[in-house]
A and B are shown apart, each in its own frame.
Chain A
Amino acid sequence: MAWTWFHRLASPPHVYRTAERLTPWFAWSAAILIVAGLIGGLYLSPPDYQQGDGYRILYVHAPSAWLSLLVYTTMAVAGGIGLIWRMKVAHAVAASCAPIGASFTLAALVTGSLWGKPMWGTYWQWDPRLTSELILFFLYLGYMGLRAAFDDVQRSDRISAVLAVVGVINVPIIHYSVVWWNSLHQGPSVMYLGKPTMPPSMLVPLLIMFVGFTLFFAAVLLMRLRGEVLIRERAASWVREVVHS
């Protein structure tokens, strides 16, 4: 009984149609929340008493950094499901995740270094968060490189899933070793997410941005997933129906 549900979930036409139906919901709610968060963050919240208006890049930087991790985890979980249950759709999800996650990581790196200019007076500081983010970016590059190295989609799916699982186990180890390394070489870095110091007028727009970005990721993931499923199932008859209708 439980398995009919599982097989429906795994059936590509079902996934394609569900993704098609859900995309606008996620996309519109993401758009509304992000606009609301931006208005709240850029106009309504007060300037920081130390950093002035410079801190406002936080509203893009922090959600991007959060998503860079969330997407990697999603990718690893999807890959793991694909490995264990040989579920092809799960691999399609993992494949769709990689470029999205890499983009968020890149966004976090760029916004982080732009923010560094007013804060540290330099575009690059070996701050533990930025360094971890940079390593995460390399992990994404490695994952996408490995995926691209195989012609056979099934093998590429399964091999890269092993890498994603190994990677996700290592992400916390890498992060904490970088934090440990950093604590030896300089004083504690500026904490920009210190919750007690953040007034609600700053915190609320930030939380709205977090939710908005996450929904945005869901919408983009569903769109990419549809494309991915179409490419993978291009020999199937239902794809011909979809494409010609």
Chain B
Amino acid sequence: MNNLMAGEAERSFVSARISDTPSVFAVASLMLARDLRLAFRKASQLVQPLAFFALVTTLFPLAVTPELTQLRRIAPGVVWAAALLSSLLALEFLFRDDAQDGTLEQYALSGRSLTGLLAAKTAAHWLLTGLPLALMAPLAGVALGVQGAALPGILASVTVGTVTLSLIGAVGAALTLGVRRSGALLSLLTLPLSIPVLIFGARATQLAIRGQPYGAPLTLLAALAVFGITVSPLAAAAAVRINLE
């Protein structure tokens, strides 16, 4: 037993003490910090979905009509279809890098809950893509002739809706991890599941534009988000484990 004492106490695993294990929240914030830092080091990946969102919004006045009264009528559809497609664009990178360099493997073998770690990653993804989209949506609204009073409604509905989109996307990205060139398959998997978000989100936006109360569809959107938070990380973790097998 003497040689056990040979190593420096602080790096010996025998000396790993009670205070050693970070709490769930510490781990979650560590993951968030990591993903945010990584994202800002390659900012182009952040900007591209936003540029795409702006571009899609620009296509409609060019294709349909520049007349604001008409654009206002289709604004909810434009904003939500553009948001759906832009959030799809960022999905392929959600787990791909981590899978390729073995980081995902390390998460799966860390002894911490993979479900929790993936939930934190999804949260980071929403902060980096969903939230900026939500902040941009009112701008798109203005460009489509929406009155100022309706903008908070658009902001709120896109904010809540993109949470669910990120959660659905996490499942899709985890399922297609082992698939090369997964873009088309990923949209085929996630878009049908996103339809309820589209329906409630576009409805909330439409009511906001008409100046009517939009609480009901917004509540339904929030309910979808809560449901997604409970189910999606579990499914994503199961899919990641299978893809690592």
Contact = CB atoms under 8 A, between A and B. Distances in A.
23 contacts: A83-B238, A138-B191, A146-B176, A149-B179, A149-B182, A149-B185, A150-B179, A154-B245, A155-B242, A155-B243, A162-B175, A162-B235, A163-B175, A166-B193, A166-B231, A166-B235, A167-B193, A169-B231, A170-B193, A173-B196, A174-B192, A177-B199, A184-B203
B175 A155 contact: no
A170 B192 CA distance: 10
A177 B196 contact: yes
Nearest to A151: B178
A146 to B, nearest CB: 6
A9 interface: no
B175 A146 contact: yes
A181 B199 contact: yes
A233 to B, nearest CB: 21
B214 interface: no
A135 interface: yes
Interface string B191-222: 11101100110010000000000000000100
Nearest to B185: A145
Interface of A: 83, 135, 138-139, 141-142, 145-146, 149-150, 154-155, 158-159, 162-163, 165-167, 169-170, 173-174, 177-178, 180-181, 184
Contact of A141 (B178, B188, B239, B242): B188
Given A174-B196, A178-B199, A162 B238 contact: yes
A150 B224 contact: no
Given A83-B238, A177-B195, A181-B199, A149 B176 contact: yes
Interface of B: 171, 175-176, 178-179, 182, 185, 188-189, 191-193, 195-196, 199-200, 203, 220, 224, 227, 231, 235, 238-239, 242-243, 245
Contacts of B188: 138, 141-142, 145
Contacts of A145: 185, 188-189
B193 A181 contact: no
Contacts of A169: 231
A159 B239 contact: yes
Contacts of B242: 155, 158-159, 162
A166 B171 contact: yes
A141 B227 CA distance: 25
Contact of B203 (A83, A135, A142, A181): A181
A145 B192 CA distance: 14
A65 to B, nearest CB: 17
Contacts of A139: 192
A173 B232 CA distance: 15
Given A83-B238, A149-B179, A155-B243, 10 more contacts: A135-B195, A138-B192, A142-B189, A145-B185, A149-B182, A159-B239, A159-B242, A166-B193, A174-B193, A174-B195
Contacts of A154: 245
Nearest to A152: B178
Contacts of A166: 171, 193, 231, 235
B165 to A, nearest CB: 14
A177 B235 CA distance: 22
Nearest to A131: B195
B245 A155 contact: yes
A177 B191 CA distance: 15
A159 B192 contact: no
Contacts of B203: 181, 184
Contacts of A149: 176, 178-179, 182, 185
Contact of B185 (A142, A162, A181): A142
A165 to B, nearest CB: 7
Most buried by B among A146, A155, A158: A146
Contacts of B199: 177-178, 180-181
